[in-house]
Structure 1
């Protein structure tokens, strides 16, 4: 064997080994080897909705749930998708009468909402929405909320730091944080980042006038929310499988990492309950979710995690309160609690689950 051939074979063997290790690492993080032995059931009723009711925000003072929906499969297929929208559910009605009714503002005309955030203080009620415009532009839309829940467009916010916004949480009349789930808008580079589990996503703070990076080195930053007092910020990692807790300075918006909790599942949106607990929707088998994105007949397990923080805000306990293999709902993206009920949304399908909310935490 010639020296050149020997070196070539060694290089090929090393490359194959690296690819195998990276492939195994990605599949392990994406839940390919995860075995779901037992479901955690809940008493649920399906509520018809437009396709893709991905995020839900509850105005508990008024008993209204706001739902952001967009037909993502049509968008992924390159079709000219119908305009997405915001819908409301009157939670003061009996739960068996809950239904969605449109409250979407007439502008912007190019509207495909993703994550949403609610702001309510000092008589101001506004809804913030991530908007993936068909033009490719990424914006945050701010809406005024009328007494009946109808929305009127207030303002569009744009910034070069809004690279790939996923979720938004409002902390002032015009101030908010977003998660960029990728550090690049290039789809090929974003896919490579995902496959290599690179920590290139971040959290951006907009103070009402300008934006800046407030937190970084996240592996697909996803859901984001703040505590009732505004002094803690919570963010999830989809591929990082973890919850991050930051100490927040309400005066400056600065974030300081405080706690990091691996939860072993692909975390999505966060709801902060009235008692301070967190409800986090999750994808325990990300590989199944990827398959479900391409084919609605392929089921993707849905999970809801409840996180009960300690009084200090550090530590606590976490576990599963809902887990289904996908027959009841595939691709859960949000769980929002209202009294003894919770609404579970998803990324693609035309329905929401209204379920009795259990506080019994079970190991996953």
Structure 2
């Protein structure tokens, strides 16, 4: 066989492989069947997304980022990004926007991933921001009495190239995911379509960031186990949760992967039992179209709960919630507390559901 024929067959094989991978990514064969764990209602106060949620059990409240849609240039003027507060104990099903004090320019505030550090009753929030010309982590403290935030500082590092989410492990110390490599719109879409492993995970030690994992496929949501022994990273295109052992020096070692057959976005780890609650996008082509036109095109929503067993060697997965997009579109995170579940979305509203039988969800 001549060299030209070999090259032709290799190109055809690669083309067919890529075509099949794209078909599988689109989930054209999937259908979502609606079900809920109990009565659900839309939370008042949030209209432009509830992309990530950080629950602080010490106060029984959740901090919610809203407005990531303002990353789209034509939406910057009409959408004001902010951080909202939801109090589980009040049961008034309302989220309030937290005012921000201090020398912080809110003109282009585009809050994305969020994580909290609690020390001596002091709550510090770390929030990924996408201002024009770069990516940063904004640091705020929470005033419980005034229900407000105070700006502390901005953290920048050249390795924050395409940040999506972060997981705080100490004061000014956190892991952060870079979802993609290319920032150019068309190159970014090509990277995702070809499912290239060009994402990364970095660790910021308070002074500088270092890369702890390269060549990763769409690292998105990131969370740490409450006792800092495991690190979890969601890969939407891989449809898996990657589990790493976390050493005291913050180095990571691959442990296992949890296959979901759905695209995970962000996660919440229950401190009481270590359960992992995941907001997912069950149908690929729907979420792709939804991102392009969130006002007019729905995307199915799904929440999965993962209970790890036998030292994270096995697990049980249940589905507490699923919806075809009619109630909420593009679920990105789920948080559970005292038989209540909050479900956040990329660009849509925030949903609260009562969990009637927590033992079976």
TM-score scaled by length of structure 2: 0.90
CA apart distance, 1:216: 2.9
User: 1:139-178 residue pairs with structure 2 within 5 A?
Assistant: 139-148=136-145, 149-178=147-176
CA deviations on 1:59-90 (whole Å, 9 max, x unpaired) are 11112111100051672546534431001012
The SS at the match of 2:350 is strand
- Tell me if 1:217 matches 2:215: yes
Change (3 A) 1:256 1:122: farther
CA apart distance, 1:14: 7.6
Contact 1:179 1:224 in 2 (8 A): yes
CA apart distance, 1:315: 1.9
Question: What are the ranges of 5 or more consecutive residues in structure 2 without an aligned counterpart?
Answer: none
Deviates more, 1:75-84 or 1:183-192: 75-84
The correspondence for 1:100, drawn from 95, 102, 105, is: 95
> 1:41 — aligned with what?
36
User: 1:2-41 residue pairs with structure 2 within 5 A?
Assistant: 18-36=14-32, 38-41=33-36
CA apart distance, 1:321: 1.4
TM-score scaled by length of structure 1: 0.89
- Tell me if 1:51 matches 2:48: yes
CA apart distance, 1:347: 0.7
User: 1:205-284 residue pairs with structure 2 within 5 A?
Assistant: 205-250=203-248, 252-273=249-270, 274-284=272-282
Contact 1:31 1:265 in 2 (8 A): no
> 2:120 — aligned with what?
122
CA apart distance, 1:311: 4.8
d(CA) in 1 for partners of 2:310 and 2:338? 21
> 2:325 — aligned with what?
326
> 1:62 — aligned with what?
59
The SS at the match of 2:31 is coil
d(CA) in 2 for partners of 1:40 and 1:308? 20
Deviates more, 1:39-48 or 1:75-84: 75-84
Change (3 A) 1:71 1:176: closer
d(CA) in 2 for partners of 1:67 and 1:335? 11
CA apart distance, 1:16: 6.6
Contact 1:203 1:221 in 2 (8 A): yes
Change (3 A) 1:215 1:359: farther
CA deviations on 1:274-319 (whole Å, 9 max, x unpaired) are 3210000000112101112233332211000100011523322113
d(CA) in 1 for partners of 2:328 and 2:31? 18
Contact 1:306 1:361 in 2 (8 A): no
Change (3 A) 1:165 1:104: farther
> 1:86 — aligned with what?
83
Change (3 A) 1:41 1:327: same
d(CA) in 2 for partners of 1:23 and 1:298? 25
CA apart distance, 1:41: 2.4
Coordinate RMSD, CA, aligned: 2.2
CA deviations on 1:212-255 (whole Å, 9 max, x unpaired) are 111233211111111111111111001110001111123x2111
CA apart distance, 1:155: 1.5
> 1:3 — aligned with what?
none
